[in-house]
Amino acid sequence: MISTRSALGSKPALNDSGQAEPRGFFLRYASPVLTAVLVDAAFFLKRLQRIYGNQPSEAAAKQLHRTALDHLNDEKGRRVSRLYRIFVYDAPPAQWKGHQLISRKSVDFSRSPVALWRQEFHDCLKSLRKVALRLGEIPTSHVNWQLKPDVLKMLATGERKWASITDEDFRLDFRQKGVDMRIGLDIASLAFKKQVSQIVLISGDSDFVPAAKLARREGIDFVLDPMWATIRPELYEHIDGLRSVCPKPEQVAANNKVGP
């Protein structure tokens, strides 16, 4: 049976200096390994909240950068690879404007705290060393209101009645478009042009499999970092390594637990 945790060698995040390449790197190491780190931002932020809780936008962007740089180090914290670039894939904040379903109050989602947080997150990423931000889109023509899952469950079990439903029980269903396509295109481009010798993908999505198979056929070392999330067993055969460099969620919870 394949273990659901990441492979041996995974470790807590290191205290990285934040430099993409340490001073004197080429003179001291001259590593032949050139690594590109690709990050699915939506997945990263979901796991970041699971591990560390809610974070300010700047702190989240810097944690993403540190996590990517940690993949250049071995288990003892020694830099063993050179960084080609950190590619981050996300969608811009939704610009949807409309009305609430129940109260019919006007809503401008572009001014919501969620949208403002995301924009600040993107702005901070753009200022970081060797980060390339790849943005998809959120089509506003296909936005729908949906009942929150826990509310739907309570309605189904009879814990709540339709008469008690309010605006707070609904959420907007925003669907990113073009993000997975950009990840696949960049993996193919990096592989065919021989720009790197290693690709690290921080994601938990299985849609990357065709691109990963292509990269491996071109001789690229393909490593997946699911940030300790469980992945499907069949994905193991399509990657060259599985490594999470962030702390386990339960480890952080144990460290933060206050004694009686």
User: Which of the residue ranges 24-38, 140-154, 224-238 would you say has the lowest mean pLDDT?
Assistant: 24-38
pTM beyond 0.85: no
Write down the domain spans for the chain.
30-92+128-137+176-256
- Confidence band, pLDDT 50/70/90 cuts, at residue 8: very low
Structure tokens that stand for 12 in this block: 């807590």
Residue 224 has pLDDT above 60, yes or no: yes
Q: What percent of the chain has pLDDT over 90?
A: 64
- How far is residue 34's CA from residue 197's CA, in Å, rounded to a whole number? 5
Q: What's the rounded mean pLDDT across residues 228-257?
A: 86
- Res 98: pLDDT: 86
Structure tokens that stand for 110 in this block: 């572009």
- pLDDT averaged over the chain? 87
> Which residue pairs, CB below 8 angstroms and at least 24 apart, start in 204-212?
204/40, 204/43, 204/47, 204/229, 204/231, 205/40, 205/43, 205/180, 206/231, 206/232, 206/235, 207/180, 208/180, 208/183, 208/184, 209/235, 209/238, 210/184, 211/183, 211/184, 211/187, 212/187, 212/238, 212/239
Query: What are 130-154's pLDDT values in tens digits?
Result: 999 999 998 877 678 899 999 999 9
Query: What are 145-189's pLDDT values in tens digits?
Result: 899 999 999 999 999 999 999 999 998 888 888 999 999 999 999
- List the one residue out of 163, 153, 204 whose CA is nearest residue 183: 204
- Confidence band, pLDDT 50/70/90 cuts, at residue 30: low
Domain 30-92+128-137+176-256 has CATH 3.30.300.30: no
- How far is residue 230's CA from residue 6's CA, in Å, rounded to a whole number? 8
Q: How far apart are the first and last CA of the chain?
A: 39
Residue 40 has pLDDT above 90, yes or no: yes
- Res 15: pLDDT: 45
Structure tokens that stand for 86 in this block: 């950190």
Give the position of tokens 């273990």: 3
- List the one residue out of 89, 86, 49 whose CA is nearest residue 68: 86
